[in-house]
A and B are shown apart, each in its own frame.
Chain A
């Protein structure tokens, strides 16, 4: 897949379409299908920058239940900011170049061990902070992510949890003295 990196998004998509939509890069971690929605939109950043961002976000907060489509939430969000602000775009491009340099080639093609070392060495770096900030503030504030991780969001409009499983965890029921019955019981 190495020669995909510098090709246009259109041909990138065409190639991606020829696969089963599930391609593992040399670095081992990005699903090309995740790019479809993103690539169909107007974008400020190229594939390489986007792919690297996706993998950085994923390496920062890897989760078995988080698909690449979800990680694209952070990429999409930053891409949107880059479209409106040239300085954001250039910072992203610069940051990815720094990560590539630290990886001794391309971050997306480095081993997981190498990538974790790159992240460690980049703590506090601008691009690092941008990516971490976007993951914390945007990715983890997204309802699609909540649904996967099991946080149920707003409760008042559903009447709270007093009749919806606030005591359903599979642990022994405490004594009544420690945990009295509810007002509705």
Chain B
């Protein structure tokens, strides 16, 4: 069943990464009879390996390779070596995701047209429309088992949701419910129903949450067309004399370099590693890195607005019981420039356990004092929400190679530079205000406006564009420069929208697999 391919087999599709993008693409290709070698930098963990312990799970699964930061964003001060909170494991960050599975809104695929020129923002319309995406959203929702789609009931709301819902009703919000979630409300697709464990971020031990590591990957393995290599960290994508991709070089679990030949290569290493790998693969033919003739690789890094509001309520809440992201208010996700900014944001319940709450409620050296002590002392009285909003793409927000720092393989580490755009700051201020109002309406005694965590939604560093000069890849994720090189993760996002990105990443991967299979059959790649 578990297939082995030869390193010199140049007929295989090599997929780099096994998360929402790479895991899905691998399975979709394998289902179509295409031979796939998936190279995953992390280890393989099963649901039995996951631990209900915040720090232990973080050390087990987080991507902790050396990285640097710059820019005025607060993450660079509070977490200078940890710009993102993503996963190094089979399944990638679908191990960590909370499960929110929202389609983008129609206008969010054409923000340049809708929002107009925003100074300092590098806005661009997607080369795809919502209408073109709809059939793939539908397939992705079926694959993931998204609640409130395909006849799947919504999840029951927990304590944190009850508080949010009460505040939302009193605020007059119209659209507040337990969300569209990639978490089984009923047993489905061989996986359990949710037990309301509350450790969604640490790897779902019940398997109720969709995660590519135990859905897509085993399904791909069953086809006999697929090989997963774990602890296989790709450090270079190689090309032949004509400039076509011919393979990859990776460091295996023993620290030895291996070269795998390939017919095509699809990169899905999340939006920091993907541009880094393209930049690290520079040669005399491609001196600025692969697919970088327009100079766009690594630029327009987006991380969603993000912010949190944590409230101290007048009665016990026990928000930690049950799903981490238990419900949503979508009323503020519309584009309504009368609010003083373009784009919108979602409000989604979020809880952290006490260890992470102590680390993130007020991060950095100012994170102490009587108010913080009071909140943590009364952890059981806390309620919380996360704010996910559209941030503006800016050319200067970018992933570059920091050649003065080397990782464990001797490769230059990625530097992540980020400054908030004025629109981001205005939106965050608005969202803090509305989030506070929700909790005050529900009886809050006090609130904290919590700044962004290290980024979980890393987007846009190899964006798709209609014109080659505006981006890195086309509407199928195919490199504008190299016909057999594909971008297959959130790096493709032209803009970020207000919605959590996983559903769109999975939808794009399903769509891309169709495209690749078609082109392979035609012999064009």
Contact = CB atoms under 8 A, between A and B. Distances in A.
A119 B368 contact: yes
Given A63-B373, A159-B195, A179-B157, A169 B368 contact: no
Contact of A167 (B156, B177, B368, B442): B156
B374 to A, nearest CB: 7
Interface string A111-127: 00000100100011000
Nearest to A165: B321
Interface residues of A, number: 55
Nearest to A162: B196
B354 A160 contact: no
Interface in A47-66: 60-66
A116 B370 CA distance: 10
A140 B365 contact: no
Nearest to A60: B368
Q: Is chain A's binding surface mostly helix, strand, loop or mixed?
A: loop
Contacts of B317: 169
A166 B198 CA distance: 9
Interface in A122-161: 123-124, 128-129, 132, 135-137, 139-141, 145-146, 148-157, 159-161
B292 to A, nearest CB: 39
Contacts of A140: 354-355, 357-359, 376
A61 B376 contact: yes
B331 to A, nearest CB: 13
Contacts of B377: 61-66, 148-149
B365 A161 contact: no
B55 A141 contact: yes
Nearest to A145: B354
Contacts of A132: 365, 367-368
B368 A166 contact: no
Contacts of B365: 123-124, 128-129, 132
Contacts of B163: 169, 171
How many B residues are at the interface, by size bracket? 35 or more
Q: Is chain B's binding surface mostly helix, strand, loop or mixed?
A: loop
A2 interface: no
B53 interface: yes
B198 A149 contact: no
B154 interface: yes
A169 B159 contact: yes
Contacts of A153: 52-53, 353
Contacts of A146: 354
Nearest to A170: B315
B185 interface: yes
Interface string A59-78: 01111111000000000000
A141 B359 CA distance: 10
A23 B487 CA distance: 66
Given A149-B376, A179-B177, A155 B198 contact: yes
A182 B367 contact: no
Interface in B450-487: none
A161 B158 contact: yes
Contact of B379 (A124, A149, A161, A177): A149
A23 to B, nearest CB: 22
B194 A167 contact: no
Nearest to B379: A149
Contacts of A179: 154, 156-157, 161-162, 165, 177-178, 327
B310 to A, nearest CB: 14
A169 B316 CA distance: 7
A139 to B, nearest CB: 8
Contacts of B353: 151, 153
Nearest to A128: B365
A18 B197 CA distance: 48
B127 to A, nearest CB: 37
Contact of A156 (B176, B178, B205, B381): B205
B454 to A, nearest CB: 15
A11 interface: no
B166 to A, nearest CB: 5
A161 B355 contact: no
Contacts of A128: 365
A45 B51 CA distance: 35
A168 B156 CA distance: 12
B293 interface: no
Contacts of A124: 365
Given A149-B354, A161-B322, A179-B178, A166 B52 contact: no
B128 interface: no
Nearest to A159: B195
Contacts of A84: none
Nearest to B159: A169
Contacts of A166: 156, 158-159, 196, 198, 318, 321-322
A171 B162 contact: yes
B320 A152 contact: yes
Contact of B318 (A61, A63, A168): A168
Given A162-B322, A168-B318, A178-B165, 20 more contacts: A62-B377, A129-B365, A132-B368, A140-B357, A140-B359, A149-B380, A150-B378, A155-B52, A161-B195, A161-B321, A165-B318, A167-B159, A171-B162, A171-B163, A172-B169, A174-B166, A177-B177, A179-B162, A180-B156, A182-B185
28 contacts: A61-B368, A61-B377, A62-B373, A63-B374, A63-B376, A66-B373, A135-B368, A137-B55, A146-B354, A148-B377, A149-B376, A149-B378, A151-B354, A151-B379, A152-B321, A159-B195, A161-B195, A162-B322, A165-B318, A166-B318, A167-B159, A169-B318, A172-B166, A172-B169, A174-B177, A177-B177, A178-B154, A180-B178
List the 5 shortest-distance A-B pairs measured between CB atoms, nearest first. Answer: A63-B377, A150-B380, A160-B195, A179-B157, A154-B52
